[in-house]
Amino acid sequence: MPPSVSVVLVPGLGLDERSSRGLREELSATVVPLPGMGSAEPVPGVDELAARLMTALPAGPVVLVGHSQSCQVVAAAAIDPRVTGIVLCGPTTDPRMRRFRVLAWRWLRTAVAEPWWQVPLVLRQWLRTGPRAMTALWRTAAPDRIDARLHGLRVPVVVVRGTRDALCPADWAQQVTAAATHGRLVELPGAAHMTVQTHPRDVAAVVRSL
């Protein structure tokens, strides 16, 4: 990645700038919090969230990095001509997880695979964003088809998945990757869903590869 390229990070569902602290120690990047993702503001639709993100972008060129549910917003904002590439860490939402029972089981499987040292940090971020904004973001973004948004994008798209991530299973990650014209899948052995927070060095290497 040329030094002239800016990196913009968008936190995942309920998370804020603390989730990417380690990543920002590895590379220079700016965090843009959005409703439900670092901000407790009322949550608009995905297109409006993407418009807010585009308003906050620097002059360009820009690489966008999304995590979990913010990947859908990043994919929607990637139509901006300043964007030269996107990295999607644990992209959601696998349509099979719209049923609460399936989502709960996948979340539990993923949670037990995460390092326990990060639990207090994640809880503090969730408390700051608040359950109302988190629930509203889930209801707004879950039906949004990220794979459909990736069709026709001309910029490189890298999907990053932890091999223990049940919220972004292997076949779904492959489907998302295949939807992009210039898609590439990177799997991080032993990682689960919180790759930005738990594997910052690996994620930074992916970003630099663009």
- Give average pLDDT by consecutive 10-residue segment, the chain, 210 residues: 88 95 95 94 96 94 96 97 97 87 86 88 92 93 92 94 96 96 96 96 96
Q: What is the pLDDT of residue 1?
A: 74
Residue pair 71/54 in contact (Cβ under 8 Å)? The answer is: no
Residue 114 neighbours by CB distance under 10 Å: 19
Q: What is the pLDDT of residue 68?
A: 95
Token digits for 201? 């060095």
Residue pair 150/156 in contact (Cβ under 8 Å)? The answer is: no
H or E segment at 160? strand 157-162
- C-alpha 4/C-alpha 40 separation (Å) is 33
Q: Rounded to whole angstroms, what are the CA distances from 70 to 139, 157, 162, 207?
A: 13, 15, 17, 16
Residue pair 182/8 in contact (Cβ under 8 Å)? The answer is: no
- C-alpha 74/C-alpha 12 separation (Å) is 11
pTM: 0.94
DSSP letter at 37?
B
Cβ-Cβ contacts under 8 Å for 174 (sequence gap 6 or more)? 185
Residue pair 206/126 in contact (Cβ under 8 Å)? The answer is: no
Residue pair 13/144 in contact (Cβ under 8 Å)? The answer is: no
Residue 206, CB-side half-sphere exposure with 13 Å CA sphere? 27
Task: Tell the burial category of 174 from Cβ atoms under 10 Å away from its Cβ (0-12, 13-18, 19+).
Answer: middle
Looking up tokens 């585009």 gives: 54
> Cα torsion at 20, 198, 41, 130 (round to 10°)?
-140
Residue pair 43/137 in contact (Cβ under 8 Å)? The answer is: yes
What 3-state DSSP class applies to 34? strand
